[in-house]
Structure 1
Amino acid sequence: MKLLNTYEDRDEAEVALTKITGEKRLASERDSTEVIYNLFGQPTWGNFFRLGMFNLPLLQQIVEMRKNGQTYDADKHQEIITMLKYVAPMFELEIPEHWL
């Protein structure tokens, strides 16, 4: 398990916990006078998608539009892919070819 995300709101953190699959846990810690909630889980593209991270929902729309021959924002697509190329090694993930 790895740290997937942090939250300042307990309710938001608990909702996120229900969205991901696989081994997971929520841990809280105090930072000064505030409580921070750390979400640990399996670092998969599916879990990141369910959490709405790294613009994956938008990437899904772009890939679908491209697949259907529709006009899509190529600059935004490249921006997301560039971010994923940075993120993927941190979580030991491969970027699927059909996303590129």
Structure 2
Amino acid sequence: MKLLNTYDDRDEAEEAAEKLTGEKRLASERDATVVIYNLFGIPSWGNFHRLGMYNLSELKSLLDRRASWQAAEQIRHAEIVATLNTVAKNHAIDIPAHWL
């Protein structure tokens, strides 16, 4: 399990934890008067998508209409893929070839 996201609100953190598949753990930590909630889980594209992270919903929408991309959509796709490359390296997961 790895740290997937942090939250400032307990309800939001618990709601996010319910969306994950596989092992998960929610841990809180206090810094002075501020409490943050760390969500640990299995780093997978499915879990990241369920959490609404890394513009994966936007990527899905882009890929659904790939045949009719304009220049702006090609640029946005490249931006999202650049972010996903970093995420993939950090979590040792592969980007599906059909996303590229």
TM-score by length of 1: 0.94
Q: Distance in 1 between matches of 2:63 and 2:84?
A: 14
5+ long unaligned stretches in structure 2: none
1:42 corresponds to 2:42: yes
Q: Distance in 2 between matches of 1:76 and 1:88?
A: 18
- Show the counterpart of 1:58: 58
Residue 87 of structure 1: CA displacement?
1.2
Find the partner of 1:70 among 68, 71, 84: 68
Structure 1 runs of 4+ aligned residues shifted over 3 Å read: none
The percentage of aligned residue pairs carrying the same residue is: 59
Q: Distance in 1 between matches of 2:25 and 2:86?
A: 25
1:95 corresponds to 2:59: no
5+ long unaligned stretches in structure 1: none
Total equivalences in the alignment? 98
Match for 1:55: what amino acid? N
Q: Secondary structure at the match of 2:55?
A: helix
- Deviations along 1:30-63, one digit per CA (max 9) or x if unpaired, are 0221100000000000000000101011001111
Q: Distance in 1 between matches of 2:49 and 2:56?
A: 5
Residue 99 of structure 1: CA displacement?
0.2
Note the aligned Cα RMSD (angstroms).
Answer: 0.9
Q: Secondary structure at the match of 1:54?
A: coil
Residue 93 of structure 1: CA displacement?
0.5
